[in-house]
Structure 1
Amino acid sequence: MKKIITILSLIILIVSCGSSKKVTTRKSKQKTVRVVKNTNQTKGDTPKEEAVIVEETIKETPEVYANKTEEYIAIYSDIAQDEMRNYGIPASITLAQGILESASGQGRLSVEANNHFGIKCHEWTGAKIYHDDDASQECFRKYKNSKYSFRDHSLFLTERKRYAKLFLLEKDDYKGWAKELRAAGYATDRKYPDKLISLIERYQLYRFDADVLGKQTTSNDKHTVVKGDTLYSLSKKYNISIDQLKSLNGLENNDLFIGQVLYVKPIPKDF
């Protein structure tokens, strides 16, 4: 009888040990091991194996941008490309105007009214915001979301006859578009076309036009920063001045970070 009891006890012990293990995982980038003690064990019982639960948590790494303009481009380039597909306005022009008019998304109208293009009320029946511009406390359109500002910009250009000549230009002729915008009366600043072209060249915004049109952009050398890189070493490697590198990439200081992508081809000076 004692032998039978002993055999049964061994069987129970083996089964309980085999079933007490539990391993669970959740998709993530960081693992944490947690040991759970067996609380059902009674006095005199043989100690059972503790459960090991492997937990994984997601730890997000924020994107790092060289400046606010780079961040603006990353956020709104997809919207600008969608508007180009729907209305034929070069994404490069839309982005450059947005950057210029909204101070890279930091201006009051863009922050408080999601108005990235300084479009005034005119016949607008929606929400409004008042802001000093050409005159004191002028009326500007206020949007619930920035994407509606981009759509209104597209409609503003396509629905007014004075901008009709724009749509006779090639969709990747950003220089022609910049000049014709001013000629059609979009802006009174004589340097407005040059400012747009400068932004487009500086940040290679024409690559978004090429993407929509299914074209390849003109070769623009890029360099991904690795450990040990400095602006000085890169200037020597690519035969470009430090000031040109900083200007080309919108850098405000000499700091670089590993993985940062830099443009290392000088800006063309034919405009």
Structure 2
Amino acid sequence: MKPLEFIGKLSPVAVEDMRRYGVPASLTIAQAILESGWGESSLTKQANNLFGIKGTGPAGSVTMPTTEYRGQDRYTVNAQFRKYNAWNESVEDHTRLILNGTKDQPARYHGVLGADYKTAATAIWKGGYATDPKYPQKLISIIETYGLQQYDLQGQVKEEDVVKIEELSNQINKLQDQVRQLAENQTAQSQTIAKQETQINQLQTILKSLQTLHNQTTLPSWADPAIQAAIKSGVIQDTQGSYDFYRMMTVLYRLGLLKSIK
């Protein structure tokens, strides 16, 4: 596979893993390049294994020869390697290995997390990922040759962005509280209006019945404040009525009922 094609296929997965877990994207891509020979190794073609991780994977395992080192001495042995259904599973497993280490040393690769690419390249080797003494320099050379450090910048969340996110989150929470409060107030107001409308309708019904019981008469001066208050509050439309009607309106006015409706 051509270098640009390989990097283009793997970089989105590596960047997303860096955002979620802190494994430098440049290290993930460089290790995949080095371990898989740009995706052309037999292990990668047969098992989708980009990183040479040994053991049994989601799709089983394959046995392959591998080169190991004792100091500066090279030797070849057969080993069982993990098999995956797709490349993304291989990347996820690589990330888990860095996060969880091994049973005897869970934190053996933690020097990689959040580190710059040079520190990460050395830390992964010191943790025992590879025995090749030139492993860190090989990774650094790949990263710098192909500019893989640019993907570390894509995977980082800047401090000012974190502050902005927190500010926006606080604003959203405040707006949600305001919306809830407005909804509660609207419900209370609706109930109050409905109650007032019911009272007005009841009074109008009573007053209409009083108006029809007696003949109309001239508005007495003592009833004028009550009648004007009733008109203003919307209970009646005009000043016409009987003596008993005016007297009842005056009683309602003095009890403060007409004012409460206003």
Which TM-score band (shorter chain)? Answer: 0.5 to 0.7
1:131 aligned residue: 64
1:174-189 aligned within 5 A: 174-189=117-132
Structure 1 contact 93–177 (Cα < 8 Å) conserved:
yes
Deviation at 1:147, TM superposition (A): 0.5
Whole-Å separation in 2 of the counterparts to 1:168 and 1:136: 29
Whole-Å separation in 2 of the counterparts to 1:169 and 1:96: 13
Deviation track 1:235-259 (CA, whole Å, cap 9, x = no partner) reads xxxxxxxxxxxxxxxxxxxxxxxxx
Deviation at 1:136, TM superposition (A): 4.2
Structure 2 contact 112–124 (Cα < 8 Å) conserved:
no
2:96 aligned residue: 155
Deviation at 1:183, TM superposition (A): 1.1
After superposition, the Cα gap between the structure-2 partners of 1:189 and 1:88, relative to the gap in structure 1 and judged at 3 Å, is same
Whole-Å separation in 2 of the counterparts to 1:163 and 1:205: 28
Letter in 2 for 1:119: I
After superposition, the Cα gap between the structure-2 partners of 1:140 and 1:175, relative to the gap in structure 1 and judged at 3 Å, is same
Aligned with 1:130: secondary structure? strand
- Would you say 1:68 and 2:9 are equivalent positions? no
- Would you say 1:100 and 2:34 are equivalent positions? yes
2:85 aligned residue: 144
Structure 1 contact 182–193 (Cα < 8 Å) conserved:
yes
After superposition, the Cα gap between the structure-2 partners of 1:101 and 1:126, relative to the gap in structure 1 and judged at 3 Å, is same
After superposition, the Cα gap between the structure-2 partners of 1:169 and 1:144, relative to the gap in structure 1 and judged at 3 Å, is closer
What count of residue pairs does the alignment treat as equivalent?
148
After superposition, the Cα gap between the structure-2 partners of 1:80 and 1:170, relative to the gap in structure 1 and judged at 3 Å, is closer
How large is the Cα RMSD of the aligned pairs?
2.2
For structure 2, list consecutive stretches of 5 or more residues without a partner in the other structure: 68-75, 159-262
After superposition, the Cα gap between the structure-2 partners of 1:72 and 1:97, relative to the gap in structure 1 and judged at 3 Å, is same
Structure 1 contact 172–209 (Cα < 8 Å) conserved:
no
Structure 1 contact 172–210 (Cα < 8 Å) conserved:
no
Whole-Å separation in 1 of the counterparts to 2:47 and 2:92: 15
After superposition, the Cα gap between the structure-2 partners of 1:139 and 1:174, relative to the gap in structure 1 and judged at 3 Å, is same
Deviation at 1:167, TM superposition (A): 3.6
2:169 aligned residue: none
Aligned with 1:132: secondary structure? strand
Deviation at 1:164, TM superposition (A): 2.9
Aligned with 2:52: secondary structure? coil
Aligned with 1:147: secondary structure? helix
Quick one: which of 182, 187, 190 aligns to 2:133?
190
1:118 aligned residue: 52
After superposition, the Cα gap between the structure-2 partners of 1:89 and 1:106, relative to the gap in structure 1 and judged at 3 Å, is same
Deviation at 1:137, TM superposition (A): 3.5
1:89 aligned residue: 23
2:152 aligned residue: 209
Whole-Å separation in 2 of the counterparts to 1:169 and 1:91: 11
1:243-262 aligned within 5 A: none
Letter in 1 for 2:2: K
Deviation at 1:118, TM superposition (A): 0.5
Deviation track 1:97-128 (CA, whole Å, cap 9, x = no partner) reads 00000001011111111000001116x57411
Letter in 2 for 1:89: V
- Percent identical: 39
Whole-Å separation in 1 of the counterparts to 2:112 and 2:55: 29
Deviation at 1:170, TM superposition (A): 6.8
Structure 2 contact 23–113 (Cα < 8 Å) conserved:
no
TM-score normalised by length of structure 1: 0.50
| Bigger share in helix | 2
Aligned with 1:133: secondary structure? strand
